[in-house]
Amino acid sequence: MDKKEDAIDGESELNMSTKKPAVFSGVAPSGSLHIGNYIGAIRHWVEFQDKEDNIFCVVDLHAITTPQDPRKLKEKIYEVAALYLACGINPDKSKIFVQSHNPDHAQLAWILNCVTPIGWMRRMTQFKDKSQKQKEIVSMGLFDYPVLMAADILLYQTNEVPVGEDQKQHVEITRDIARRFNSRFGEAFTIPKAVIDTTGARIMSLQNPLAKMSKSDPNPDGSIFLLDDADAVQHKIRIAVTDSGKEVKASENKPALKNLLTIYSVLGNESVEALEERYQGVGYREFKADLAEVVIEFLRPIQKKYREIWESRGYLDDVLRRGLEMVRPVSHETLARVRELVGLG
């Protein structure tokens, strides 16, 4: 990974003694995981698994900040956890658990709410976007989303938060909240930093190359889901929007082609330059047909592993239980210190 680190520190005295950097990240089970989630976040979790001390969380409390069907939510939580494993997260190397199974997250979020100025929250662009799109009422939970995310990260004295570009602002506010708490009450938190790759940090919708590929996009043709079958992948790529002209080139004035080339390059493991050369003088149709094959071949082993995991539900429960047991003492220690510093009995 060509790491672009968005902040300079990510360390504090609390973590100087730890050899491996502490990493925390998560995905909300608010829909089906797509290749944007994989390219922007999960592949980096897998890549650095051996070098870091990792926690990967299924952030179900974040999912309910927008309306979810209660009958489907539980299944989605397990689906996300199973996909973490199917994508290559190894539960012997990384801890995986479900956010709501650890009540420390909600408790720390409340305390952080009481030190976070409302003006900081009003600047959050994701809230502005999501609240505009929201057809039903906009909940306090949606507004408070970044504070809960800060609690997730700060509970574990996290150094690094590997995420896609859209989460940069949330990690920045996490840093601000941590600094404010530390200076007002005393050292409690490590200051984390976002780790964002220079390639693929923002995969765009196949139907609108100016909008991010997103789980909650009502048009499923804009996203390729990790569990899409071959026919769906072929169809979505065939009808994907392209730019005017015929050239397969990743230039700024060809955002659709740039996006398709990025996907091809990452999932097919070939440089964009090599692809541009290979497809010189070749029409979009052939390029898209090859891209569909690359995506299908990439998804095949993930889907096979996913099905195996899904059939042994006891194993998945066990992984999540073990993950929770390992993370709980860390969050507990942070929360106890925070309570003490704040003066809660």
- Residues with a known catalytic role: 130, 212, 215
Pick between residue 88 and residue 337 the one whose CB is nearest to ligand ATP.
88
Based on the shown chain and the rule CB under 6 A, indicate whether residue 89 belongs to the binding site for ligand LTN: no
Based on the shown chain and the rule CB under 6 A, indicate whether residue 22 belongs to the binding site for ligand LTN: no
Distance CA 138, CA 130 (A): 9
Based on the shown chain and the rule CB under 6 A, indicate whether residue 108 belongs to the binding site for ligand LTN: no
Using the 8-state DSSP alphabet, how is residue 64 labeled? T
153 binds, among ligand ATP, ligand LTN, none (CB under 5 to 8 A by kind): ligand LTN
161 binds, among ligand ATP, ligand LTN, none (CB under 5 to 8 A by kind): ligand LTN
Pick between residue 81 and residue 201 the one whose CB is nearest to ligand ATP.
201
Stretch touching ligand LTN by CB under 6 A, among 25-33, 198-206, 243-251, 280-288? 25-33
Based on the shown chain and the rule CB under 6 A, indicate whether residue 163 belongs to the binding site for ligand LTN: yes
Given the structure tokens 């079958």, which residue do they identify? 229
Distance CA 80, CA 215 (A): 12
Pick between residue 40 and residue 91 the one whose CB is nearest to ligand ATP.
40
Distance CA 78, CA 85 (A): 11
Phi, psi of 204 (to 5 degrees): -100, 160
Pick between residue 36 and residue 91 the one whose CB is nearest to ligand ATP.
36
Using the 8-state DSSP alphabet, how is residue 41 labeled? I
Considering only residues 34, 43, 44, 62, which one is a binding residue for ligand LTN as defined by CB under 6 A? 62
Min CB(153)–ligand ATP separation in Å: 12
Phi, psi of 152 (to 5 degrees): -55, -50
User: What is the signed CA dihedral for 235, 241, 245, 249, rounded to 10 degrees?
Assistant: -90
C-alpha distances out from residue 49 to 7, 76, 92, 218, 285, Å: 21, 24, 10, 33, 38
C-alpha distances out from residue 132 to 10, 126, 137, Å: 33, 10, 10
Stretch touching ligand LTN by CB under 6 A, among 24-32, 76-84, 200-208, 237-245? 24-32
Residues that bind ligand LTN (CB under 6 A): 24-28, 59, 62, 149, 152-153, 161, 163, 167, 170
